Copies of this chain bind each other. A is one copy, B any other.
Amino acid sequence: MNYSEIMARDGADPQTRILEAARAEFAAYGLAGARIDRIAKNAQASKERLYAYYSDKQQLFLEVLEVNLREFASDAVLTAHDVPAFAGALFDHAVLHGDHLRMIDWARLETDGTWLPALEVMLGYRDEQVRRIRLAQEAGRVDAAWDPVQLMTLIFGIASAWMHEPGAVVPRGNPVAPAVVAARRANVVHAVERLIAPSAIGPIN
């Protein structure tokens, strides 16, 4: 029982219920695999209402994507120059809201770049984090040899490594043991600590 299902069940606007049901549906099946009838049914709403609020399937998908990205951007932020902690927060968010990562993957795979309004959210978020990495470099907590954009992307890749791993299938079937998750998190944080350690080896380029 996740947040979306709770929101979709009890007494909220039909529009909200539809959006929440669409979140679960699109995250699970993607744009091509999602079924409008299933969204309406799970939202306990009629298709007539769905199309009264959203023009078509793709627009609803983009709406869901943007909501997800906004939540993501407001959740995992770099604070107080603590870059390893930021990586840990990214990891936690990915574990807790795996749907957000899935939606990003769906969008990357299924769209031909026509999700600009949602992408803007993500780019703005990234630029802000990059800015803070730069501050951390000036404060001497991150090796100045790194290009901040490159480092940011690497941190993203590290934090989401376990979600993009080929064997990461059947997420609903068998949940990962908490102890295993904790070990992965520790390794992620530690990896970033090693990455940013000032003058560990030398300049990059």
Residues of A within 8 A of B (CB): 29-30, 32-33, 102, 104-113, 115, 119, 122-123, 126, 146-147, 150-151, 153-154, 156-162, 164-170, 173, 183-184, 186-188, 190-191, 193-195, 197, 200-201, 204-205
Contacts and interface: CB of A to CB of B under 8 A. Distances in A.
Contacts of A161: 153-154, 156-158
Given A150-B183, A161-B156, A109 B102 contact: yes
Contacts of A159: 157
27 contacts: A29-B32, A30-B30, A30-B109, A30-B110, A32-B33, A33-B110, A107-B166, A107-B169, A108-B169, A109-B109, A112-B173, A122-B166, A123-B167, A126-B166, A146-B187, A147-B187, A154-B158, A154-B187, A156-B165, A157-B161, A157-B162, A160-B164, A186-B205, A194-B194, A194-B200, A195-B195, A200-B200
B30 A168 contact: no
- In the complex, the count of this chain's copies comes to 2
A156 B146 CA distance: 20
Nearest to A118: B166
B123 A188 contact: no
